[in-house]
A = this chain, B = another copy of it.
Amino acid sequence: MNPKQIIKEIKEKQEEIRSVIFVGCGASKAELYPAKYFLENNSKNLRVSHYTANEFNYGTIASLDKTAIVISASLGGSTPETVQANAKAKEYGAHVISLTRAENSALTKDADYVICHRFAESYGAKLEKMGYALELAVEILEQYEGYKDYEDAQVAFSKIYDLADSAAKSAIADARKFAEAYKNDSMIYLMSSGATAEVAYSTSICLMMEMQWINSGSFHSGEFFHGPFEIVDKDVPFILLMNEGSTRPMDARALTFLKRFEAKTTVVDALDYGLSSVIPKTVIDYFNPMLITAVFRVYAEELSYARQHPLTKRRYMWKLEY
């Protein structure tokens, strides 16, 4: 079933939905963030939460009942914490929708609805998890409260995958320059705002720390001036993921400061890849993370080649029990 049909069927069963809870771990948690951000900011009535799976499992979640929709994600569908979260959600009577690329994986056991996404096929396909989550959020808002920009969002969904895929392919030259410039750095900071805030986060904890063993930290561009900016110096590398739309002034203010003090800065800017030329202005905020994720994937790949450290190399993950 597609997102529209899933939400329609849930609404036929349960007229009153009070909470929407997004649950995942690591990159899969972060990929739910644009959907959470969209729904939290645009809904007047729905409670919207976002948990790393074990926080959902161990913590009190008083709102977890048949008036809740839980949307969980796990790439391989076997993340134990997220599988357990589905079981808890089901036990409390919530409506469970899961996103995974692995049909019949453990994650699907307690899911009422499963959306299987692609992953490795293309830069665009890698975005489907994020995209389906956002589509679910848009459907929930439209069907439960009404969403005035619903048609614009449909236009955006019809365009974003091709745009992201071609943007990624066009980024190779810039990505190589970045890789050459950053390949010997032992610490790299990531920063963004709006719906893209957790792309900065997942780039930091996954692409840098996990896949390149490079030290890293991340924060919201709006927080930069309230602590992190004191670390700025010529030899401290930053990557700024820059949004088109409402929160651009925050990213721009951080960039002005980084330039003023000649910090080593790389900017991946949605504007440069033509986001606003195909995505309606009314919904542009929510489509930055998909475009930027696709483009930065190329940056990470080039970094891995320059460092001769494959993105698939691990010392602990998949290698031992923990």
Contacts and interface: CB of A to CB of B under 8 A. Distances in A.
Nearest to A317: B230
A13 interface: no
A63 B44 contact: yes
A230 B210 contact: yes
A70 interface: no
Interface residues of A, number: 72
Interface stretch (A158-166, A167-175, A214-222, A299-307): A214-222
Contacts of A228: 205, 209-210
Most B-side CB within 10 Å, residue of A18, A229, A256: A229
Contact of A230 (B60, B209, B232, B285): B209
A61 to B, nearest CB: 6
A247 interface: yes
B231 A219 contact: no
Contacts of A59: 41, 194, 246-247, 285
Interface stretch (A22-30, A93-101, A270-278): A22-30
Interface in A165-214: 186-187, 193-194, 202, 204-206, 209-211, 213
A81 B261 CA distance: 22
Contact of A25 (B29, B48, B226, B249): B226
B232 A205 contact: no
Contact of A26 (B63, B193, B227, B314): B227
A71 to B, nearest CB: 16
Most B-side CB within 10 Å, residue of A27, A58, A222, A316: A222
A257 interface: yes
Interface of A: 18, 25-29, 40-49, 52-55, 58-63, 79, 81, 186-187, 193-194, 202, 204-206, 209-211, 213, 215-220, 222-223, 225-232, 236, 246-247, 249-250, 253, 256-257, 260-261, 285, 314-317, 322
Q: Give me the 7 closest cross-chain CB pairs, A-B, nearest first.
A: A26-B226, A217-B217, A205-B227, A210-B227, A52-B222, A54-B222, A210-B230
